[in-house]
Amino acid sequence: MHISVKDIKKRYGKKEVLKDINFSASNGDCIGIIGKNGSGKSTLISILAGIIRADAGSFFVDDKDALKEDSVRHEKVAYVPQGTPIIEELSAWDNLRMWYRQDDLKKQLENGFLKVLGIDEFLNVTVNKMSLGMKKRLSIGCAINNDPKVLLLDEPTAALDLVCKEAVYAYLRAFMESGGILILATHDIYEIGMCSGCYLLKEGILEPYSYNNDMTDLLKKI
């Protein structure tokens, strides 16, 4: 599996938010997009997810443009937004049943990625009674129903406690070990450390950034 983002552009009025964005990744890679709030990170992730239309550019997944071929994106790409787009009145089980066949769901809960996320521990809890961490894990669980090869995440552990963060991190590590490709917008130092490739988005320009555990340097660059 290989992906390539080429010449992505996006303008809102007179403001050019994304200027010729380019990067690539292969099996097991984690690409981190860092930058200030409002720098365009979420816009870029949303474009790759097909939520926002780019003004120009391509997102190749094994040589097929996922921005032009919806079937490619639906088959191989999954997206987890900052929010938790799940149905508040339903339990975790009922939300998952909307996305999975029952046999597949049981297998995933017994020894698959849903087990890694710990969703089996709160299957009967309704969403409106869940902690933020439970909701985030359930959102990820619903998003990966198609066994994606590429996972797009927008600040996946923002505002989560340490226990919930570790459950998400365990899943992300397992996903990469299985050959999956992660692309995440993040402010989290641990997540930046997970990345095989890190990029700084500033004034619409995406440039490689080598993080060396020096927060002072990172803050200066951002």
Task: Answer whether residue 221 is part of any domain.
Answer: no
Task: Answer whether residue 61 is part of any domain.
Answer: yes
Task: Answer whether residue 59 is part of any domain.
Answer: yes
The Cα 36–Cα 200 span in angstroms is 9
Bridge-based pairing state of the strands 15-26 and 150-154: unpaired
E strands in the chain: 2-12, 15-26, 30-34, 56-61, 64-65, 77-80, 150-154, 181-185, 197-202, 205-208
- 103: domain CATH number is 3.40.50.300
Write the pLDDT tens digit of every residue in 172-192. 999 999 999 999 999 888 888
Q: Could you give the percent of the chain with pLDDT greater than 90?
A: 78
Write the pLDDT tens digit of every residue in 127-168. 999 999 999 999 999 999 999 999 999 999 888 888 889 999
Task: Answer whether residue 153 is part of any domain.
Answer: yes
The Cα 87–Cα 211 span in angstroms is 38
The Cα 104–Cα 53 span in angstroms is 33
Task: Answer whether residue 110 is part of any domain.
Answer: yes
The Cα 143–Cα 73 span in angstroms is 13
Task: Answer whether residue 222 is part of any domain.
Answer: no
pLDDT at 80: 93
pLDDT at 188: 85
Task: Answer whether residue 45 is part of any domain.
Answer: yes
Q: Which helix (H) or strand (E) holds 158?
A: none
For the chain, what is the domain count?
1
Q: Could you give the percent of the chain with pLDDT greater than 70?
A: 95
- Per-residue pLDDT averaged across 107-116, rounded? 93
Please report which confidence band the pLDDT of residue 222 belongs to, taking 50, 70 and 90 as the band edges: confident
pLDDT at 218 over 70: no
91 φ, ψ to 5°? -75, 170
pLDDT at 215: 62
Task: Answer whether residue 220 is part of any domain.
Answer: no
pLDDT at 82: 87
Domain span including residue 132: 2-213
Distances (CA, A) of 16 to 40, 134, 169, 192: 10, 37, 33, 26
